[in-house]
């Protein structure tokens, strides 16, 4: 019997013995519990809004939780950066240096954020008392969200516990599921959600889950599953099927100018398949947990440290997620348009009369570059004030149409499907990458790259994914799923090459949860779980 139960029994005995029945008859403080909520469409919608909320959390219990930063800093695309005068954000430095452990605060924050979201979705899926067409759609959105949170957890921690019910307070028996069990549940939720979701919403409801978003995430989940399951061609075929459904829906198109994807005010473009929404409406204060759940902190956190105040477009930031020369130099010479849309070079600022001293950067991490996709534009404001103005409303595209095209091409190639269809999808992305306007005949096709560089078609896709999605958070997860994350990634003189081992492919589960389960949860996944 736990202490809480003993305390409750003691109170009952005490009050009964003293005849304090009047004292016990108090007005309940919480009018609604799970047993008497979810009895109207409005209540279910309120619960659904709560289930969406953790998607946008970028600051949990005092620590930064951005999957964009994680996927870039963990990889060869970026270094942690930050304040040069002290060990700024040590957890992110540990992630960068491949020294993460079970006590790294960000490990707990990412874990908590996503399981909090799963808990909210399970409340909707297990406790709703009514049914209607609206309720069916709300529950379909909740199934997408449950799949999304599990998918994010898998990408970060490997095979994790699949949670479909609210655990009992005394239940400490959680263990990791196998990879196939995790992906079976993810794909089941998405397949059940797709028929009940709309193709689109009115403009005032942008950001809600559409059929295309669910099909795209399902294709992405099958792609990861196939890759990690020894290149399973049947799973790659399923990935291609669902990604092709997105393409054939004619709901999405590449915008003409790549630079406009992350321009000031850009949101929910024709290329947006699934986009995380942010707002600047709630004041920012450091003293309250989850204080930045409405604003996108990455804009301030990854802006240019020490930038002069008279820059025409940008305000100063805090200098995190610094692109590497490895990333800058990985772009082909004729791919400068995408490179310059993703990366700000120190020489560029100097030419604009607003140079920044390297002494103001983290000397271990700064290689002459800053990221541009989440630029700290001067036009951002925090209308309701707050302790510090980091509430920027820049949305985060999670799956873009270009990503869908490249995933589709990869799934085709790796399933033995049509290479010509794969090349057509790649060439749509490559033509746009050349710059705005009609570039017919003015860019190197996938066929050209294969011939000129002696690349396979799959190597063309790997290049395109890195160049197209640079600075967007997919790099590390692409490397891990495809078996390309290894000690050779950073070069022999980089400390990360010496630190790397197989445990660095995933974050460790927080020590708190390992202790609570009595070791039932292991810090890192056993290889046997990848089945």
pLDDT digits (tens, 9 = 90+) for 90-128: 999 999 999 999 999 999 999 999 999 999 999 999 999
Residue 291: phi and psi, rounded to 5, are -70, -20
* pLDDT score recorded for residue 25: 47
The number of residues in the chain equals: 531
Task: Give tens-digit pLDDT for 419-476.
Answer: 999 999 999 999 999 999 999 999 999 999 999 999 999 999 999 999 999 999 999 9
Q: Are strands 78-81 and 343-345 parallel, antiparallel or unpaired?
A: unpaired
User: What is the reported pLDDT for 284?
Assistant: 59
Cite the DSSP H helix spans in 416-494: 419-433, 446-453, 457-468, 475-481
Q: Mind listing the pLDDT tens digit for each residue in 150-183?
A: 999 999 999 999 999 988 878 888 999 999 999 9
Whole-number pLDDT of residue 86: 72
pLDDT at position 386, please? 53
CA distance 327 to 91: 23
Give the pLDDT mean for 229-234: 97
Torsion, Cα 508 395 321 308, to 10 degrees, reads -150
Q: Which CATH code, of 1.10.760.10, 1.25.40.390, 1.20.140.10, 2.40.30.10, is assigned to 36-197+486-523?
A: 1.25.40.390
Q: What is the pLDDT of residue 338?
A: 98
Q: What is the CA radius of gyration of the chain?
A: 24
Residue-level pLDDT at 10 = 32
pLDDT above 70 coverage of the chain, percent: 89
Residue 15 pLDDT greater than 80, yes or no: no
Q: What is the greatest pairwise CA distance in the chain?
A: 91
pLDDT of 3 over the 50 cut: no
**Which comes out higher in pLDDT, residue 303 or 58?**
303
Q: For residue 105, give the nearest of 95, 114, 115, 97 by alpha carbon.
A: 95
Whether residue 126 contacts residue 165, with contact meaning beta carbons closer than 8 Å, is answered with: yes
Enumerate the domain spans of the chain.
Answer: 36-197+486-523
Reported confidence tier of residue 380, pLDDT bands at 50, 70, 90: confident
Q: Which range is least confidently modeled, 118-132, 166-180, 195-209, 254-268?
A: 166-180
Contact 389, 292 (CB under 8 A): no
Q: Is 454 exposed, middle or buried (CB count within 10 Å of its CB: 0-12, 13-18, 19+)?
A: exposed
By CB neighbour count within 10 A (0-12 exposed, 13-18 middle, 19+ buried), where does 121 fall? buried
Q: What's the CA gap between 314 and 300, in Å, rounded? A: 11
Both tokens assigned to 40: 């109207």
Cβ count near 410 (within 10 Å): 28
Instruction: Please determine, for residue 212, whether its predicted confidence score (pLDDT) is greater than 60.
Output: yes
How far, CA to CA in Å, does 295 sit from each of 55, 56, 64, 80, 393? 12, 8, 12, 21, 6
Reported confidence tier of residue 504, pLDDT bands at 50, 70, 90: very high
Query: Looking at residue 109, what is its pLDDT?
Result: 95
User: Tens digits of per-residue pLDDT, 300-309?
Assistant: 899 999 999 8
Q: Is the separation of the CB atoms in 391 and 280 below 8 Å?
A: yes
Give Cα 95 to chain centroid, integer Å.
16
Packed helices 133-157 and 41-52: angle between N→C axes, nearest 10 degrees: 20
- HSE toward the beta carbon, residue 473, CA cutoff 13 A: 17
31: tokens are 């009018």
pLDDT digits (tens, 9 = 90+) for 338-376: 999 999 999 898 877 888 888 899 999 999 999 999 999
Query: Which of residues 212 and 14 earns the better pLDDT score?
Result: 212
pLDDT band at 391 (very low <50, low <70, confident <90, very high): low
Q: What's the mean pLDDT when you consider all of the chain?
A: 90
Q: Hunting for tokens 């990879």 — which residue is that?
A: 179
Model confidence at 417: pLDDT above 80: yes
User: Among the residues of 56-178, which ranges form H helices?
Assistant: 67-73, 90-97, 105-127, 133-157
Average pLDDT over residues 3-31: 37
The two three-digit tokens of residue 266, written as one number = 């850009």
3-state secondary structure of 524: coil
8 Å CB contact between 44 and 128: yes
Cα 315 to chain centroid distance, Å, stands at 25
In the DSSP assignment, the letter for residue 304 is P
Residues whose CB is less than 8 angstroms from the CB of residue 291 and which lie 6 or more positions away in sequence, other chains included: 59, 284, 285
Distance CA 461, CA 455 (A): 10
In this prediction, residue 7 has a pLDDT band, given cuts at 50, 70 and 90, of very low
Mean pLDDT of 321-340: 97
Q: Residue written as tokens 């994790």?
A: 160
What's residue 170's pLDDT? 81
pLDDT confidence bin for 293, thresholds 50/70/90: low
Distance of CA 382 to the CA centre of its chain: 24
């Amino acid at each position: 019997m736990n202490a809480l139960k003993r305390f409750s029994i003691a109170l009952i005995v005490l009050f009964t013995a003293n005849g304090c029945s009047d004292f016990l008859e108090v007005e309940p403080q919480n009018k609604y519990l799970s047993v008497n909520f979810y009895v109207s469409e409005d209540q279910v919608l309120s619960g659904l809004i709560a289930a969406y909320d953790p998607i946008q959390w970028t600051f949990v219990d005092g620590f930064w939780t951005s999957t964009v930063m994680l996927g870039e800093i963990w990889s060869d695309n970026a270094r942690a950066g930050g304040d040069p005068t002290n060990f700024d954000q040590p957890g992110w430095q540990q992630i960068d240096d491949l020294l993460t452990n079970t006590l790294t605060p960000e490990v707990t924050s990412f874990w908590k954020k996503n399981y909090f979201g799963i808990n909210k979705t399970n409340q909707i899926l297990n406790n709703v008392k009514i049914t209607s067409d609206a309720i069916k759609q709300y529950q379909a959105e909740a199934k997408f969200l449950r799949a999304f949170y599990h998918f994010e957890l898998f990408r970060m921690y490997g095979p994790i516990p699949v949670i479909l019910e609210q655990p009992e307070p005394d239940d400490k028996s959680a263990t990791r599921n196998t990879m196939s069990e995790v992906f079976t549940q993810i794909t089941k939720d998405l397949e059940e959600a797709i028929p009940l979701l709309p193709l689109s919403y009115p403009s005032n409801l942008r950001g809600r889950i559409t059929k295309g978003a669910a099909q795209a995430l399902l294709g992405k989940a099958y792609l990861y599953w196939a890759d990690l399951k020894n290149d399973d061609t049947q799973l790659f075929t399923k990935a291609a099927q669902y990604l092709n459904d997105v393409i054939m829906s004619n709901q999405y198109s590449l915008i003409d100018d790549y630079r406009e994807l992350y321009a000031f005010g850009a949101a929910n473009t024709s290329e947006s398949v699934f986009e995380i929404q942010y707002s600047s409406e709630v004041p920012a204060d450091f003293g309250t947990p989850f204080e930045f759940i409405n604003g996108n902190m990455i804009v301030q956190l990854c802006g240019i440290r020490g930038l002069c105040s008279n820059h025409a477009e940008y305000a100063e930031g805090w200098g995190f997620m610094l692109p590497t020369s490895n990333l800058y130099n990985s772009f082909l010479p004729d791919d400068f348009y995408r490179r310059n849309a993703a990366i700000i070079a120190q020489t560029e600022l100097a030419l604009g009369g607003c140079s920044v001293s390297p002494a103001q950067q983290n000397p271990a991490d700064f290689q002459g570059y800053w990221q541009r996709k989440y630029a700290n534009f001067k036009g951002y404001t925090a209308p309701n004030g707050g302790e510090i103005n980091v509430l920027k409303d820049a949305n985060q595209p999670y799956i873009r149409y270009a990503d869908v095209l490249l995933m589709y091409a990869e799934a085709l190639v790796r399933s033995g499907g049509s290479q010509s269809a794969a090349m057509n999808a790649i060439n749509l992305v490559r033509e746009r990458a050349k710059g705005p306007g009609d570039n017919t005949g003015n860019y190197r096709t996938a066929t050209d790259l294969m011939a000129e560089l002696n690349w396979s078609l799959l190597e063309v896709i790997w290049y395109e994914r890195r160049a197209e999605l640079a600075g967007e958070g997919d790099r590390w997860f692409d490397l891990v799923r495809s078996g390309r994350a290894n000690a050779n990634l950073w070069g022999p003189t980089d400390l990360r090459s010496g630190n790397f081992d197989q445990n660095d492919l995933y974050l460790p589960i927080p020590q708190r949860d390992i202790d609570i389960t009595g070791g039932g949860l292991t810090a890192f996944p056993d290889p046997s779980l990848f089945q």
